[in-house]
Amino acid sequence: MVNVLFVCLGNICRSPAAEGVFRSLVEREGLAGRIACDSAGTGSWHVGKVPDARMRAAAKRRGYDLDSLRGRQVTAGDFERFDYVLAMDGENLANLSILCPKGREVRLGRLLDFAPEMGRRDVPDPYYGGADGFERVLDLVEAGARGLLADIRARYL
């Protein structure tokens, strides 16, 4: 089993979207028995909460159901359990680097490392912006998910 963890700040917008999008892709490709994923936040404010209503609505319009997801905070132990620990932006990555145990750094990266064609490294935080921010998150996350799956196929499957 290949295990992937998506990480943002709150675990209520970007990383739950990445989890839902990537799980859907994995299921469509018939790989649900080979690849598992989860999401977490670097912050603790939204532990136990359902993803943001705006993120859930935007995801649902594209066929992704995020309603069963609940927020949790990332832990150092996640670097033992997950083969990929993927930050949504540079701030998340910096915070994960502090938490990451020695020798596990190779597992750490950014989701958009896998979508160089999108021309940016960060999935922007949509929390304080308008509706277009949530669509942008989904566009970037869909591209990252495709590239990530290609990387997993090349390295593990």
Select the residue interacting with ligand 4NP from 38, 125, 141, 152 (CB under 6 A).
Answer: 125
Strand 35-41 with 108-110, pairing:
unpaired
Quick check: 14 binds ligand 4NP (CB under 6 A)?
Answer: yes
Strand 2-8 with 108-110, pairing:
unpaired
Judge whether 121 counts as a catalytic residue: no
Which of these, 82, 88, 80, lies nearest to 125 by C-alpha position?
88
Quick check: 12 binds ligand 4NP (CB under 6 A)?
Answer: yes
Q: Pick between residue 31 and residue 127 the one whose CB is nearest to ligand 4NP.
A: 127
Quick check: 96 binds ligand 4NP (CB under 6 A)?
Answer: no
Which residues face 4 on adjacent strands? 37, 84
Binders of ligand 4NP in range 22-51 (CB under 6 A): 45
Instruction: Supply the residues annotated as catalytic.
Output: 8, 14, 125
Interacting residues toward ligand 4NP by CB under 6 A: 8-14, 45, 125, 127
